[in-house]
Chains A and B, each alone.
Chain A
Amino acid sequence: GIQVEQSPPDLILQEGANSTLRCNFSDSVNNLQWFHQNPWGQLINLFYIPSGTKQNGRLSATTVATERYSLLYISSSQTTDSGVYFCAVGNDMRFGAGTRLTVKP
């Protein structure tokens, strides 16, 4: 099956900083999604982005399908951005291990 790797595994930021999270995948896909799980366990579907770029407020995502990676950008981070960010790829929604983000006030 498709291998999904996310980096970095952990990231600690000061409030207001910007960050880039990466998702590498081993095969071409027609489905790639980003999710955020807050510290209380609630999952939120952020983006469906098999290719191209999308933006939603302070978050944006870019997928370069030909090079098999996707990036999630968080600008002007806030403490409420803390949690784990997952990418999932493929029709069988193979998840990466996630990036745990901690934003300090």
Chain B
Amino acid sequence: GAGVSQSPSNKVTEKGKDVELRCDPISGHTALYWYRQSLGQGLEFLIYFQGNSAPDKSGLPSDRFSAERTGGSVSTLTIQRTQQEDSAVYLCASSGGGGVQETQYFGPGTRLLVL
């Protein structure tokens, strides 16, 4: 596609429910990043994929968070048993994959509200 797309754009859920957030990177981009932006914590890096593998998952806030990427393209960020502090905008970015020096292109984000 022309840019990074994310779905849904908005999600309201009840505390304790699971949610899945999707990211479609720019076609051909091998690197994919997930970030979170909340009022309390600012911008946080969550996880990075090179191809289908994520060498470092330590940025994920808790074991309720998981992410996967299949076919070197679409990625899904799953939050289990959502808590109110999970409310945030979840941002995805992709890059050509040559390393951190490659320009990242961001999607519009998914705004998650946990009631």
Closest chain A CB from B23 CB (angstroms): 14
Chain A residues contacting B58 (CB-CB under 8 Å) are 92
Q: Please count how many residues in chain B sit with their CB below 8 Å of the partner chain's CB atoms.
A: 20
Closest chain A CB from B111 CB (angstroms): 9
Q: Please count how many residues in chain A sit with their CB below 8 Å of the partner chain's CB atoms.
A: 17
Q: A12-53: contact bitstring with B at CB < 8 Å (1 yes, 0 no)?
A: 000000000000000000010100000001111100100000
The answer to whether A92 and B106 have CB atoms under 8 Å apart is no
Task: Name B84-106 residues within 8 Å CB distance of A.
Answer: 89, 91, 93, 100-106
Chain A residues contacting B109 (CB-CB under 8 Å) are 41
Chain B residues contacting A97 (CB-CB under 8 Å) are 42
The answer to whether A43 and B93 have CB atoms under 8 Å apart is yes
| A42 to B93 alpha-carbon distance, docked (Å) | 11
Say whether, besides A41-B108, A42-B108, A31 and B93 are in contact (CB < 8 Å). no
Which of A44, A48, A88, A92 has a CB less than 8 Å from the CB of B43?
A88
Asked if B28 CB lies within 8 Å of chain A CBs, one says no
Asked if A93 CB lies within 8 Å of chain B CBs, one says yes
Task: Name B27-68 residues within 8 Å CB distance of A.
Answer: 35, 42-45, 56, 58-59
Closest chain B CB from A47 CB (angstroms): 9
- B42, B56, B100, B103: which has the most chain A beta carbons within 10 Å? B100
The answer to whether A45 and B43 have CB atoms under 8 Å apart is no
| A88 to B44 alpha-carbon distance, docked (Å) | 9
- Chain A residues with CB under 8 Å of chain B are 31, 33, 41-45, 48, 86, 88, 91-95, 97-98
